[in-house]
């Protein structure tokens, strides 16, 4: 099956698809320094929680690679921490960003007493490679566990893009669809277009069509009506951060879909790797929610569609309360209600 390479290491640079240009142009960009990686994350050239984490891990290595080899390891660690803070400032909601940065930074700290600066740099790059490889594995496992849950259904609605283009390969919400296709089960995906940046239209529809999977594009406001008409059997979405009680932040509009699913007694699942769980946050109330520029709403993609001077509220994410979630599909298996108990088996630090 034709799957796209979202992000990879070329030996000198991080090669990623510039997702702001999809679906019109499939352009790969080589990122060679930390400043360009910060920009790529901020403007959503690379997006989706796991892919942001992978990109940031490589970004911290790119910063490290510019540090002089003959300086002390304590100077090096101070420099790494400064760059970690810089990359962490690129986007606030997806916890995978902070998780991946922390992992690479801690690795450098552990080695600081016993290794030289050049040796630590090599080891940081290996950590970034490991994060990418593990994400690929986690996606496959999420796909297998999710497929077991979803295979009794045919018509699956998803919101935003939690597919291969949001991760290293399989995706999270779309992973069961890909595993299904590999095992001969043909799902039909209904993709919400996902205003204002249209990740559903530009990215989910694109990647599913590219993989030869049946996909129908919907305006965001159609979901409840389609459910009422019996066209949707189940919903599966990704996540940017899952609090200790199971409350889940995902792309703005996810909560409305969950409410509609509840009203129609349709199963609503979240699919996410353990790196998306944030045990330090008790509930969704405390998840930082990104607010983005008004222009994304008033003149997205180049044409003004609102009066000049209009007041805009552009939250990029919302939080779905755990009560609305039937289960969370992870690489370790599917967590079911009550989520506040089953969740303890996932990420503990
Ligand atoms: O703003 P984006 O495009 O980064 O938002 C992405 C999402 O909301 C995804 O659903 C989420 O990150 C999960 S990706 C596997």
Domain ranges of the chain: 7-137, 141-348
Annotated catalytic residue within 135, 233, 240, 278 = 240
List of the chain residues with pLDDT < 50: 349
**Buried/exposed code over 256-266 (b: 16+ C-beta within 10 A; e: otherwise):** bbbbbbeebeb
CA 52 to ligand 1 centroid distance, Å: 9
Total length of the chain: 349
pTM of the model: 0.97
Return the CATH superfamily for domain 7-137: translation initiation factor eif-2b, domain 1 (1.20.120.420)
For residue 237, the 8-state DSSP code is E
SS3 call for 195: coil
* Per-residue pLDDT at 338: 84
* Per-residue pLDDT at 28: 98
| pLDDT tens figures, 294-318 | 999 999 998 999 999 999 999 999 9
Q: Whose CA is nearest to atom 15 of ligand 1?
A: 162
Atom number, ligand 1, closest to the C-alpha of residue 237: 10
What residues flank ligand 1, with Cβ below 6 Å? 44, 47-50, 94, 160, 162, 166-167, 171-172, 199, 238-240, 250-251, 316
CATH: 3.10.310.70, 3.40.440.10, 3.10.20.30, 3.40.50.10470. Which one for 141-348? 3.40.50.10470
* Per-residue pLDDT at 246: 97
Mean model confidence pLDDT for the chain: 96
Taking a C-beta distance cutoff of 8 angstroms, is the pair 235, 145 a contact? no
* Per-residue pLDDT at 3: 73
Respond yes or no: is residue 18 known to be catalytic: no
């Amino acid at each position: 099956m034709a799957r796209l390479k979202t992000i990879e290491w070329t030996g000198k640079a991080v090669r990623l698809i510039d997702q702001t240009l999809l679906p019109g142009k499939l352009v790969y960009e080589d990122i060679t320094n930390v400043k360009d990686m910060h920009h790529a994350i901020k403007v959503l050239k690379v997006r989706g929680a796991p892919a942001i984490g992978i990109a940031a891990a490589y970004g911290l290595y790119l910063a490290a690679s510019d540090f002089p080899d003959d300086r002390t390891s304590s100077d090096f660690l101070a420099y790494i921490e400064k760059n970690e803070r810089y990359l962490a400032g690129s986007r606030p909601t997806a916890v995978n960003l902070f998780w991946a940065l922390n992992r690479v930074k801690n690795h450098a700290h552990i080695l600081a007493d016993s290794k030289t600066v050049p040796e630590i740099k090599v080891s940081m790059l290996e950590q970034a490679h490991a994060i990418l490889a593990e994400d690929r594995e986690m996606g496959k496992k999420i796909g297998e566990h999710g497929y077991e849950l979803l295979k009794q259904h045919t018509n699956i609605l998803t919101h935003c893009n939690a597919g291969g283009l949001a991760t290293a390969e399989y995706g999270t919400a779309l992973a069961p669809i890909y595993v299904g296709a590999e095992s001969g089960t043909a799902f039909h995906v209904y993709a919400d277009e996902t205003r204002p940046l249209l990740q559903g239209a530009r990215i989910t529809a694109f990647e599913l069509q590219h993989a030869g999977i049946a996909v129908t594009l919907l305006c965001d406001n159609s979901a409840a009506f389609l459910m009422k008409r019996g066209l949707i059997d189940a919903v599966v979405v990704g996540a940017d951060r899952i609090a200790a009680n199971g409350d889940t932040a995902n792309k703005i509009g996810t909560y409305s879909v969950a409410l509609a699913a509840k009203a129609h007694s349709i199963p609503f699942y979240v699919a996410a790797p353990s790196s998306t769980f944030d045990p330090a946050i008790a509930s969704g109330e405390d998840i930082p929610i990104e607010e983005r520029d008004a222009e994304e709403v008033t003149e997205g993609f180049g044409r003004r569609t609102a009066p000049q001077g209009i007041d805009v509220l552009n939250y990029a994410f919302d939080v779905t309360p755990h009560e609305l979630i039937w289960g969370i599909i992870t690489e370790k298996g599917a967590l079911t209600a009550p989520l506040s108990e089953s969740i303890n088996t996932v990420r503990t630090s």
